[in-house]
Amino acid sequence: MSHDEDGSAEHDWLTIIAVQYFQTVPLRSFDWPQNILHKLDVSTQDAILRETVQSELGKSYPPEASYSLRFLKAILEKVDATGEEHSEALLQAYLELLSNASGDKLTGDLSRACYKSYPLPTKTSSTVYLTLHEEPLKISQGTTGLCTWEAALRFAEYLLNAAPEVIQGRRILELGAGAGLLGLVCLYMGASSVELTDVDEGVLERLKENVDLNSQMIIDRMARDFGGHQSNPPNIRVSKLDWESVDFDDIASRNAEIIVCADVVYDPILIPPLTSVLGSLLRTPHHGHPTGFREGWVALTMRQEQTYKEFLSALTRNRIRYERIRLDRVPRLFYHEDNVGEVALLHLTVADS
């Protein structure tokens, strides 16, 4: 999913607006390019509309309808502040969204799919998006796994910006994959294979949907940047893995060199089964890895210091060595919510390797 870059200054500010819109950046935090705030004429309004709500991506995989409505309303209000004439196309798009929203309320139909699209770096002059079907609420359908959380975003930024060699050409296993951003980023970066695991059936179905949604984009990336064959499907699969009821022989046999997980350390009850699974995976020899053993990476948001300390203690009890990786100098590619807590990234190896 991409749009071509024309190299003009106009494209730069349009891209700034579009990447925020597709990530559903809250309007209170939206970074409006200053050079357009004084020139919101009809042609500028139409250009914004074409790059967002009425773009191919915006029509096929739109953000939550109420967000799009607020976005267009914000533009109309800014037009009013400049004294410019409203674009007929922009007004029509706003009224259509308003009518649809009113109809949904009357019929009780709240089933419209919502998408978030995350901009990814590319070697070509285009903006490439990883698009995920996500729920607008952090907890939905009885699970936290239907949206992308902060630690997954920061971990992905670390891999994309600072440590691509961790992933490229490696076999990856993700624990608690949720909506799938981290594992799909690994595949996008050139992992030889990725296995996404979770336990909730609804999350697993959503994972499969998001894999299918991004397969062609990843095929194109492999062909363009890694010399892959465009006809070959990405080597990725989704499977169920319950940490509390696990076959350790099955765990040990999984053909992965690198274990990754993000935002899985939030409930102390989950720490013992998680660290037990990590220990089993990491202590299984893997002759394809330079050390002869697998390695692990865990990103977690430090909401409660005590939970973080309990996790570190559990790693030690399971003879897992950890090293904290600095993230403060890693450039940010994605929008991050305010006041969500610091993200810790830990590199894991077995203490007796």
In sequence order, what DSSP letters do the residues of 27-40 get, joined into one string? GGG----HHHHT--
> Can you give the pLDDT of all 353 residues of the chain as single tens digits?
443 334 455 568 999 999 999 999 999 999 999 888 888 999 999 999 999 999 999 999 999 999 999 999 999 999 999 999 999 999 999 999 998 877 555 444 455 689 999 999 987 767 899 999 999 888 777 788 889 999 999 999 999 998 899 999 999 999 999 999 999 999 999 999 999 999 999 999 999 999 999 998 888 877 776 665 445 667 999 999 999 988 877 777 788 999 999 999 999 999 999 999 999 999 887 666 555 678 999 999 998 999 999 999 999 999 999 999 999 999 999 999 888 889 999 999 987 65
Return the pLDDT at 228.
Answer: 52
CA atoms within 13 A on the CB side of 270: 13
* Cα separation of the two ends of the chain: 43
**Contact by Cβ (8 Å): 221, 188:** yes
CATH 3.40.50.150 domain range(s) in the chain: 143-350
Q: How far is residue 153's CA from residue 272's CA, in Å, rounded to a whole number? A: 25
Task: List residues bridging with 298 in a β-sheet.
Answer: 261, 346
Q: How far is residue 104's CA from residue 107's CA, in Å, rounded to a whole number? A: 5
Instruction: Give the largest CA-CA distance in the chain.
Output: 70
Return the pLDDT at 35.
Answer: 82
**Percent of the chain with pLDDT strictly greater than 70:** 88
Return the pLDDT at 138.
Answer: 80
- Say whether pTM exceeds 0.75: yes
- Please tell me the CATH code under which domain 143-350 is placed: 3.40.50.150
Return the pLDDT at 7.
Answer: 43
Return the pLDDT at 2.
Answer: 42
Q: How far is residue 1's CA from residue 218's CA, in Å, rounded to a whole number? A: 10
Return the pLDDT at 54.
Answer: 97
Return the pLDDT at 212.
Answer: 95
Q: How many residues does the chain have?
A: 353
Q: How far is residue 116's CA from residue 128's CA, in Å, rounded to a whole number? A: 13
Q: Which residue, 45, 53, 52, 47, is CA-closest to 84?
A: 45
